[in-house]
Amino acid sequence: MPLLEVDNLEIAIAMRGQLLPVVRGISFSVDEGETLGIVGESGCGKSLTSLAIMGLLDGTPVRITGGDIRFEGQDLRQLNRRERRAIMGSRMAMIFQEPMTSLNPVYRIGDQIVENLRQHQKISQKAARARAIELLELVRIPEPQQRVDSYPHQMSGGQRQRVMIAMALSCDPKLLIADEPTTALDVTVQKEVLDLMADLQERMGTAIVLISHDLGVIAETCDKVAVMYRGKIAEAAPTDDLFARLAHPYTRGLLNSIPVVDRDVEWLEAIPGRVPGIDEDIEGCAFHPRCPRAQDICRRNEPKQHRIGNEHTSHCHFAEEAAP
Amino acid sequence: MTAVVQQVQDIFAGRRLASIGLSWLILILIVAIAAPLIAPFDPYEIDPIARLSPPGWPHLFGTDHFGRDTFSRAIYGARMTVLIGSGSVIVALLTGGLIGMLSAYFTRAGNVLMRGVDVLMAFPALLLALVLITLLERSVVNTIIVIGIVYATTTARILYGMTLKLKREVFVDAAICSGAGHGSILFRHILPNLLSPLLVQASFIFAFAQLQAAALDFLGLGLPAEVPSWGNMLAEERIYITRAPWLLLFPGALIILSVFSMNLVGDAMRDSIDPRFKDDIAGV
Amino acid sequence: MSAPLLSVRDLKTHFTVKQPGLFSDDRIVRAVDGISFDIEPGEVLSLVGESGCGKSTVGRTLTRLEEATSGVAEFEGQDILQMPPAAFRPLRRDIQMIFQDPFASLNPRLTIARTLGEPLFIHKLAKSREEARRKIGETLELVGMDPAVMSRYPHEFSGGQRQRIGIARVMIVEPKLVIADEAVSALDVSIQAQVLNLIKRLQRKSGIAMLFISHDLGVVRHISDRVAVMFKGQIVEMGDKHQIFEAPKHAYTQELLSAIPRVASHREAV
């Protein structure tokens, strides 16, 4: 049984009395200790998917309109608030893009970790504090004994993100959801944070769902990848398989759009057009207005899932041909 | 025009209380404009025989101690309400707005100017109005000027803060890089972005100006005593509160209803404006 | 070799940061701390570095959005840092800036035509409204937009379209030097590629010199002729693009290059 199983999840946003679909039926699973990368551009629904899994959509105009989310076999959508809170932050944790906004500026970081620990475990104040220092050491904060009493604003962006990771890992979660965890960081700091996450995962066996717009970050850290476009998974595969055999024109376009540092490219093969707005209706394949190989069938029919390899799937009418 | 209608619809859609407030204000405006057509009597006409008659026919709201028709005076009072309100708004926004904007834009001179504004703001609004009004004669224009100046201070403060923020916007940098001069940046790039918060500010000033005017009238320092304003009506008839309570009930209720409506409308507009400025406008 | 278009010598821009508390001294932040470089006509020089290294301040100082503390910046032989603001205004036509955030850099209350028309009238590049409209239309076409959009407002456009409009505002005055401050950083990857291609094409076609400020080494490699790597307010390494990317000498440059996540290792087959 997979640790996390998302089945045909649909999410819509309520706007001007209408429900506009943002996530249009996506399915994926994550096994224990595995890293899944979800990659896509803004508005593709990747962040809402992560918020839906964490149950953080309450009180927003966004709601789940269909599908199941099962964690350790339990349907998360059936749980009440209290049962949910028992899971969140202990067996399942999340880190966000901007660590400054997710840490409370008026409390010392140590106290925030201690509070989180004591919420989920029966542990004394003293033991919790010792554990907090241990965790800071684990995420390689220098001089954890002293830094445990620092306030968030006294730390750098990279250090704050490590504190967030320490807090997320405080109760040994089975699953960590990381939404653009390094997007606000400089490349050198990004590398340290990604290395740290990989290292901790190896040691603690945590499964990770890493959400990013950066194909490079995904390629370097994930076991498997799901490429999202306009609320659907365009292509999904184990990382090596994906790059060995691109089976969706969007994935290919995304890859060719990235200016690389290792060789000269005279002109980038940009994807033409723009990301469609959520209130636009597109018939057929959602990508066809921007697709260089779009045919009549793409304009008419929505593509079904094509299986290219063992775990390699693509939502493209020409999935088999698209591969080189 | 349709854009304005659309915007009004957006602001008031789903806000029942605010919509009722807006309807009340529109009614006041119509009454003010059409006062001579609506009022059954001349508001200044004295009828010694019908002194202090209770509400009924033909004096719907009764008569005052001169025998003047309270209903007609209340209707003409709506004129004063609109006149004092809009006059004070214009004075406050023009002087205060300009001081605030220029002070924020030309920081060095502005620092001095804003300290002056701070000094004025240290006085309670009514006290400041009293001090100013004692220097002037009782007249409609002077009442407007005094109330306008009182609220110019808060307007200056608010616009000062908002202009400081706008000054740092990237599009202002971009205009500078295009070669735009001070005038162009202030009036072409900054001012248009201040219009919607200014409108909100105006609605609050309009409301508070009523209270100020009523208070000044009540203290005998506002409009000349014979002018039919709701505040004057309260002031003149207050000694008859036990014999003819309706003389205070009607103007008092009108003041409360109007101020309340203006506040509701102001709140609704504030809630619908640019979130960037929400913190700046906390009411007057 | 001809004279450089822009010659910067020992430029310093320091900021005073007021410290809270009655008795603490103000802190001085040395955002730009003594840098020198030349830009030849038609050349693209990139300033690359991580956040806080001072690269954006260089651009803002050269456009006089910040006051330089010391140093010289000669543009066509004139020192642009010392001249009075009034004397610098005509030069603003020649030195233009593209900003990072396409959502913040266009005045929401002005139509596209008014935004693009402003520099035309300020620098007296159009004698009549008709001429201005014609130029605005042509420039919009140049950046790949329909001239009909000129009567619309910024909120009607996506980020990529707004950045095209921002580029049009720069190109419309036919400048000699464009300073691009993180011009494509806020855009989605697929849109970034379009805009990057556009900037490169316009630069090639017009021969405008460019100071391209970015944190993204891939973008920098794609667009530049020469690269200067900044660290803590100083240029630690400067050279031809191929030298910087293929044989970096400074340890910091090497660290930057090695930190970039790559898809290359998986891509051999593609």
What domains appear along chain C, each with residue ranges and CATH number? 40-55+83-267 (3.40.50.300)
Q: Which of residues 48-107 of C touch B (CB under 8 A)?
A: 60, 63, 65, 89-90, 92-93, 95-97, 99-101, 104-107
In a domain, A299, yes or no: yes
Closest-CA distance of chain B to residue C107, Å: 5
Q: Identify which of C200, C256, C264 has the shortest CB distance to residue A187.
A: C256
A partners (3+ CB pairs within 8 A) are: C
Beta bridge partners of C213: C47, C181
Cβ(B125)–Cβ(B117) under 8 Å?
no
CB nearest to C51's CB, from A186, A240, A256: A186
In a domain, A264, yes or no: yes
The nearest CA of chain C is from the CA of A7 a distance in Å of 28
Q: How far apart are CA B84 and CA B73, in angstroms?
A: 16
- At B93 the pLDDT is 94
Q: What letter would DSSP give residue C104? A: T
* Minimum-distance CB partner of C270 among A186, A246, A269: A246
The verdict on C50 touching A (C-beta cutoff 8 Å) is yes
Cross-chain Cβ contact A41/C219 below 8 Å:
no
Amino acid at A11: I
- Does the residue A268 lie in any domain? yes
The pLDDT score that the predictor gives to residue B276 is: 54
Residue B99 to residue C242: CA distance in whole angstroms: 56
pLDDT at B283: 43
- Report the pLDDT value the prediction gives residue B274, as an integer from 0 to 100: 59
Q: Which residue has the higher pLDDT, C240 or A57?
A: C240
Overall domain count for chain B: 1
Choice among A173-187, A261-275, B251-265, C11-25 with the minimum mean pLDDT: C11-25
Does the beta-carbon distance from B170 to C99 stay under 8 Å? Answer: yes
Alpha-helical regions (H) of A222-282: 239-244, 249-257
Task: Give chain A's mean pLDDT.
Answer: 90
Shortest CA distance from C179: residue in chain B? B177
At C269 the pLDDT is 40
Subunits in contact with chain B (3 or more CB pairs closer than 8 Å): C
Q: How confident is the model at residue A174 (pLDDT cuts 50, 70, 90)?
A: very high
Question: In the prediction, which pLDDT does A99 show?
Answer: 65
What pLDDT does residue C1 have? 54
Q: Cβ of B181 and C89 within 8 Å?
A: yes
In a domain, A200, yes or no: no
Interface test with C, best of A42, A153, A183, A187 (most C CBs within 10 A): A187
B and A touch per CB criterion (3+ pairs under 8 A): no
Contacts of A221 in chain C (CB under 8 A): 261
Tell me the per-residue pLDDT of A62-77, one tens digit each, with 9 for 90 and over. 999 999 999 999 999 9
Number of folded domains that form chain A = 1
Phi/psi region, residue B121 (left: phi>0; alpha: psi -120 to 50; beta: rest), is: alpha
> What is the distance in angstroms between the Cα of C117 and the nearest Cα belonging to chain A?
26
- Residue C268: pLDDT band (50, 70, 90) is very low
Residue A283 within a domain:
yes
Q: What is the pLDDT of residues A188-235, one digit of tens each?
A: 989 988 998 898 898 889 999 999 999 999 999 999 999 999 999 999
Rounded Cα–Cα distance for residues B191 and B97 (Å): 10
Contact A34, A198 (CB under 8 A): no
Residues C99, B173: C-beta atoms closer than 8 Å: yes
Spell out which residues of chain C touch residue B184, defining contact as CB-CB under 8 Å: 118, 122
Tell me whether residue B2 is in a domain.
no
Check whether C9 has a pLDDT greater than 80: yes
Which residues of chain C are within 8 Å of residue B7 when distances are taken between CB atoms?
none
How far is A293 from chain C, CA to nearest CA, in Å? 17
Separation of alpha carbons A182 and A37, rounded Å: 13
Query: What are C123-134's pLDDT values in tens digits?
Result: 999 999 999 999
Q: Which of A93-102, B271-280, C12-21, C48-57 has the lowest mean pLDDT?
A: B271-280
Q: Over the stretch B20-29, which tens digit does the pLDDT of each residue have?
A: 999 999 999 9
> What letter represents residue B112's amino acid?
V
Task: Specify the pLDDT at position C264.
Answer: 67
Q: Could you give the CA distance from residue B86 to residue B203 in angstroms, rounded to a whole number? A: 9
Q: With an 8 Å Cβ cutoff, are A255 and C263 in contact?
A: yes
Nearest to A321 by CA among A301, A290, A299, A298: A298
Q: Which of the other chains make 3 or more beta carbon contacts under 8 angstroms with chain C?
A: A, B
Q: Which range among B116-130, B264-278, C228-242 shows the weakest confidence by mean pLDDT? A: B264-278
- Lay out the sheet containing A74-75: strands in order across: A18-30, A4-15, A62-71, A74-75
Residue A165 domain-assigned (yes or no): no
- Which of A216, A265, A290 lies nearest to residue C222, judging by beta carbons? A265
Structural domain boundaries enclosing A313: 246-324
Max CA separation in chain A (angstroms): 68
Residue B46 domain-assigned (yes or no): no
Q: Which residue has the tokens 């009293």?
A: B130
Question: Three-state SS for B9?
Answer: helix
At B121, the pLDDT band (50, 70, 90 cuts) reads confident
Amino acid letter, residue A180: E
Helix H or strand E encompassing C258:
helix C251-259
For residue B125, being part of any structural domain is answered with yes
Q: Structural domain of residue B85, as residue ranges?
A: 16-39+61-277
User: How does residue B278 score in pLDDT terms, banded at 50, 70 and 90?
Assistant: low
Q: Is the pLDDT of residue C160 over 80?
A: yes
Task: Give the whole-angstrom CA distance, residue C176 versus residue A113.
Answer: 55
Asked whether the beta carbons of residue C92 and residue B177 sit closer than 8 angstroms, the reply is yes
Rounded CA-CA distance B271/C124 in Å is 42
Question: How far is it, in rounded angstroms, from Cα C123 to Cα C146?
Answer: 25
DSSP secondary structure string for all residues of B233-283: HHHHHGGGTTT-THHHHHHHHHHHHHHHHHHHHHHHHHHHS-GGGTTT---
Please report which confidence band the pLDDT of residue A120 belongs to, taking 50, 70 and 90 as the band edges: confident
| Per-chain mean pLDDT for chain C | 92
Where residue C71 falls (left for φ over 0; alpha for ψ -120 to 50; beta otherwise) is left
**From CA A173, how far away is CA A206, in angstroms rounded?**
7
A-chain residues within 8 Å CB-CB of C158?
Answer: 274-275, 277
pLDDT confidence of residue C45: 98
At C32-44, the pLDDT tens digits run 999 999 999 999 9
The pLDDT of residue B184 is: 92
> Which of B174, B179, B189 is facing C99, going by the closest CB pair?
B174
* Nearest residue, CB atoms, B174 vs list C89, C105, C173: C105
- Taking CB atoms within 8 Å and a gap of at least 24, the contacts of C257-261 are C257/A261, C257/C217, C258/A191, C259/A187, C259/A188, C259/A190, C259/A191, C260/A187, C260/A216, C260/A261, C260/C217, C260/C218, C261/A190, C261/A191, C261/A194, C261/A214, C261/A216, C261/A217, C261/A219, C261/A220, C261/A221
Residue to test with chain A: of C164, C182, C188, most A Cβ within 10 A: C188
**In a domain? residue B98:** yes
Neighbours of C171 (CB within 10 A): 22
| Position B14 confidence tier, pLDDT thresholds 50, 70, 90 | confident
pLDDT at C113 over 70: yes
Q: Write down the ipTM of this complex.
A: 0.88
Query: Is 70 exceeded by the pLDDT of residue C142?
Result: yes
- Give a yes or no: residue A49 inside a domain: no
Pick among A221, A262, A266 to test the C interface (most C CBs inside 10 A): A262
CATH of the domain at B68: 1.10.3720.10
CA distance B111 to A311: 67
**pLDDT, greater one: A5 or B210:** A5
Residue C121: per-residue pLDDT: 93
Beta bridge partners of A30: A4
> Range with the lowest mean pLDDT among A92-106, B3-17, C102-116, C158-172?
B3-17
pLDDT digits (tens, 9 = 90+) for A283-315: 999 999 999 889 999 999 999 999 988 899 999
| pLDDT band at residue C31 under the 50/70/90 scheme | very high
- Note the residue count of chain C: 270
Closest CA to A93 of A163, A171, A176: A176
Q: How far is CA B28 from CA A317, B69, B77, B89, in A?
A: 66, 19, 10, 17
Interface size between A and C, measured as CB pairs under 8 A: 124
Residue C40 to residue C211: CA distance in whole angstroms: 10
C110 touches chain B (CB under 8 A): yes
How much is the pLDDT for C209? 97
Question: What is the band of C270 on the pLDDT scale with cuts at 50, 70, 90?
Answer: very low
Residue B75 lies in a domain: yes
Q: Which of A93-107, B131-145, C152-166 has the highest mean pLDDT?
A: C152-166
Cβ contact, residue pair C101, B170, below 8 Å? yes
Q: What DSSP assignment string belongs to B46-98?
A: --GGGTTPPS-SS-TT-B-TT--BHHHHHHHHHHHHHHHHHHHHHHIIIIIHH
Pick from A4, A22, A1: nearest CA to A13: A22
Q: Shortest CB distance from B171 goes to which of C89, C92, C106?
A: C106
